[in-house]
Amino acid sequence: MTGVRVIFLLGFMGCFALLLVAAYFQFIEELEPCPLCISQRIIILAIGVIFLVAAVHNPRQLGRRIYSGVIVGVALIGASVSARHVWLQNLPADEVPECSPGLAYVFENFPLAETLKLMLSGTGECADIAWVFLGLTIPGWTFVAFLVLGLVGLFTLLTRSGGEL
């Protein structure tokens, strides 16, 4: 297996591990995800799928650069969503937006554009802090994860075909 292919596979495994942690928090710790949490999960899933397809495809230089560039771009989008989530969590209580109806209700009764806006901009429940580790909340750690995934994509973008810089 080539070095870059292994890196793509490790990136996929990292995304899979992040989604397992999210499932643990939701189903074992019973922390209900807010709209921004769900958006971040979808973005991590998308990055994981790109990593997996790249690992299976094992493209040559141009294809590797395309996969890597897309990974970096999607990771930056994810980092921006996570940054917004962290920002909402650090707002003063009087500036936190109102909570919205549940996502199931929103999906059934709102247009798709409004639902997507809600999922990407966040609501009052997105400001709740339910877990902290080493001073970072779940969105803070997710922001770090997006940066790491983006750096992995950047590394594979900058490596030559033999796997070295």
Residue 45: CA atoms inside 13 Å, Cβ hemisphere, count? 10
Residue 61 lies inside a defined structural domain of this protein: yes
Residue 165 lies inside a defined structural domain of this protein: no
Phi, psi (deg, nearest 5) at residue 136: -110, 140
Residue 84 confidence (pLDDT): 87
Considering the entire predicted model, what is its pTM? 0.82
Residue 57 lies inside a defined structural domain of this protein: yes
pLDDT tens, residue by residue, 47-93: 999 999 999 998 888 989 999 999 999 999 999 999 988 888 787 76
Residue 15 lies inside a defined structural domain of this protein: yes
Tell me how many degrees the CA angle 97-100-106 measures, rounded to the nearest 5.
Answer: 140
Name, of 13-27, 75-89, 93-107, 132-146, the range with top average pLDDT: 13-27
- 102 Cβ contact list (under 8 Å, min separation 6): none
Residue 71 confidence (pLDDT): 97
**DSSP structure class, residue 132:** E
The fraction of the chain above a pLDDT of 90, given in percent, is 47
State the residue range of the domain holding 92: 3-158
- 24-28, 131-135, 141-145, range with the lowest pLDDT: 131-135
- Total domains in the chain come to 1
Phi, psi (deg, nearest 5) at residue 159: -80, 150
Question: Residue 80 sits in a domain of what CATH number?
Answer: 1.20.1550.10
Whole-angstrom Cα distance, residue 55 to residue 49?
Answer: 10
Residue 164 lies inside a defined structural domain of this protein: no
Residue 118 confidence (pLDDT): 67
The fraction of the chain above a pLDDT of 70, given in percent, is 78
* 118 alpha-carbon distance from chain centroid: 17
pLDDT tens, residue by residue, 37-60: 888 999 999 999 999 999 999 888
> Cα-Cα-Cα-Cα dihedral of 131, 82, 31, 109, to 10°?
150
Residue 38 lies inside a defined structural domain of this protein: yes
Residue 136 confidence (pLDDT): 87
